[in-house]
């Protein structure tokens, strides 16, 4: 449980939501719920620089910085992966780049999802997470460049 204390509040809530379900099927349903919550992703954003590499399915992530906070958008052609995207978009949006970079992906173990994800999906999760961290850093670098 100590890992949760370092999690941003929204992400900690998401982890707690998954912890309430001991049944893998209920966890999958929870993931699908996150997939449904994702706003429609603009086709125009489905560019190579927004595509997550190392994923079996098509996954796209964008990040914008406003008032020092990062907003993510994402999409996937696979529902369970889209749920992972939704979980991460909801859990990491509204944080500063520094807060995002301080989050480690091992919180997935606290959700219990890692035991029910196939190795390729688990790997995809880490790739999506890594891309979101990189995009957050990219936002910060751009913001600093504009400020100078």
42-52 pLDDT, tens per residue?
999 999 999 99
Q: What is the pLDDT of residue 2?
A: 39
What average pLDDT does the chain have? 91
Q: How many helices (H) and strands (E) does the chain have?
A: 8, 2
Identify the three-state secondary structure at position 66. Answer: strand
Distances (CA, A) of 56 to 28, 108, 119, 122: 18, 19, 11, 11
Paired tokens of 33: 């719920």
Geometric angle at alpha carbon 27, from 103 and 134, rounded to 5°: 25
What percentage of the chain exceeds 90 in pLDDT? 75
Q: Residues near 75 by Cβ (< 8 Å), separated by ≥ 6?
A: 38, 41, 46, 59, 60, 82, 85
Q: Is the predicted pLDDT of residue 95 greater than 80, yes or no? A: yes
pLDDT tier, 84 (very low <50, low <70, confident <90, very high otherwise): very high
Fold of 2-147: Sufe protein. Chain: A (3.90.1010)
pLDDT tier, 4 (very low <50, low <70, confident <90, very high otherwise): very low
Q: What is the pLDDT of residue 148?
A: 80
* CA–CA separation, 15 and 54 (whole Å): 25
Distances (CA, A) of 57 to 75, 79, 87: 10, 10, 17
Q: Which residues have a catalytic role annotated?
A: 55
* CA–CA separation, 33 and 51 (whole Å): 23
Q: Is the predicted pLDDT of residue 97 greater than 90, yes or no? A: yes
105-124 pLDDT, tens per residue?
999 999 998 888 888 888 88
**What are the residue ranges spanned by the domains of the chain?**
2-147
């Amino acid at each position: 449980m100590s890992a949760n204390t370092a999690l941003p509040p929204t992400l900690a809530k998401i982890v707690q939501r998954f912890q309430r379900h001991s049944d893998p099927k209920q966890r999958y349903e929870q993931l699908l719920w996150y997939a449904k919550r994702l706003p429609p992703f603009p086709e125009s954003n489905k560019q190579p620089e927004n595509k997550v590499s190392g994923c079996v399915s098509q996954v796209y992530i964008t990040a914008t910085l406003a008032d020092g906070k990062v907003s993510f958008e994402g999409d996937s052609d696979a529902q369970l992966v889209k749920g992972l995207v939704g979980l991460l978009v909801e859990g990491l949006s509204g944080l500063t780049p520094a807060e995002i970079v301080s989050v480690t992906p091992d919180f997935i173990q606290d959700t219990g999802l890692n035991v029910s994800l196939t190795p390729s999906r688990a790997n995809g999760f880490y790739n999506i997470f890594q891309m979101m961290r990189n995009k957050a850093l990219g936002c910060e670098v751009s913001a600093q460049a504009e400020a100078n």
